[in-house]
């Protein structure tokens, strides 16, 4: 069982969190580089960050800025910020009521397969939603977790976007729980036109306890990745 340090940051500014991720990410990479250069076997650490962000839009490195439908003044009026960042994927929104998970793990400790890693993250969310009697699934060619795939009512409930270097991961997933979905109206989410976005609250008709959802996510992450969480 690999050990993973669990860190719940609460409500935290996106840029501060990004910089914190980068520090953990680079520290892990530096250990691996030093091991290789000096024929050492120092262990790398694995981390899992939970966080909620104030209103923010982030654009991945392959994203199209035209998918942000607000100018700077309108962003300010919405109380939102915007960042171009170094994950895969296009544009997405983060805000209060959304559970964001950032696993910063060394895949050399697990399996060296990015595709499998993304599918496992999706599966964690699919299994979590099943506990709320929601049948969610993957949509071919569209990373993330969806409801009613293949119908005119397809809607995304969880976005995924990661960055990896030397098999170390950062960024992760964003699950809409009690999220204000109106903020998605200001973007073309993930650059996919004509597809709706939803949340646990919207699907169940009531607010959902965030801590309860986090516990379910950790349970399924533990099972799939065969890890032990340390606080």
* Binding-site residue positions for substrate: 87-94, 159-161, 172-174
Active-site annotation holder among 104, 126, 190, 227: 190
10 Å CB burial of residue 23 (0-12, 13-18, 19+) is exposed
Residues with Cβ within 8 Å of residue 231, at least 6 apart in sequence: 5, 6
What SS3 string covers 108-144? HHCCCCHHHHHHHHHHHHHHHHHCCCCCEEEECCEEE
Alpha-carbon distance of 208 to 202, in angstroms, equals 10
Picking from 163, 114, 159, the residue whose alpha carbon sits closest to that of residue 136 is 159
Annotated active-site residue 190? The verdict is yes
Count of C-beta atoms within a 10 Å radius of residue 142: 16
Alpha-carbon distance of 17 to 13, in angstroms, equals 6
Query: Which residue numbers are catalytic?
Result: 190
């Amino acid at each position: 069982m690999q050990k993973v340090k669990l860190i719940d940051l609460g409500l935290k500014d996106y840029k501060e969190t990004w910089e914190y991720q980068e520090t953990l990410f680079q520290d892990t990479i530096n250990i691996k580089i030093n091991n290789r250069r000096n024929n050492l076997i120092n262990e790398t650490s694995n981390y899992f960050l939970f966080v909620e962000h104030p209103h923010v839009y982030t654009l991945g490195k392959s994203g199209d800025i035209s998918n942000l439908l607000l100018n700077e003044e309108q962003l300010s009026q919405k109380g939102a910020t915007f960042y171009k960042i170094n994950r895969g994927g296009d544009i997405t929104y983060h805000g209060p009521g959304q559970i964001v998970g950032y696993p910063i793990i060394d895949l050399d400790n697990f399996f060296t397969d990015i595709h499998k890693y993304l599918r496992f993250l999706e599966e964690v969310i699919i299994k979590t939603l099943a506990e709320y009697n929601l049948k969610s699934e993957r949509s071919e060619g569209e990373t993330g977790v969806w409801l009613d795939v293949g119908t005119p009512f397809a809607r995304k409930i969880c976005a995924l976007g990661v960055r990896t270097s030397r098999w170390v991961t950062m960024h992760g997933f964003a699950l809409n729980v009690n999220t204000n979905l109106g903020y998605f109206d200001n973007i073309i989410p993930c650059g996919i036109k004509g597809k709706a976005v939803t949340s646990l609250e919207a699907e169940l008709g009531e607010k959902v306890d965030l801590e309860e959802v986090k516990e379910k996510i950790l349970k399924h992450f533990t099972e799939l990745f065969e890890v032990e969480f340390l606080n």
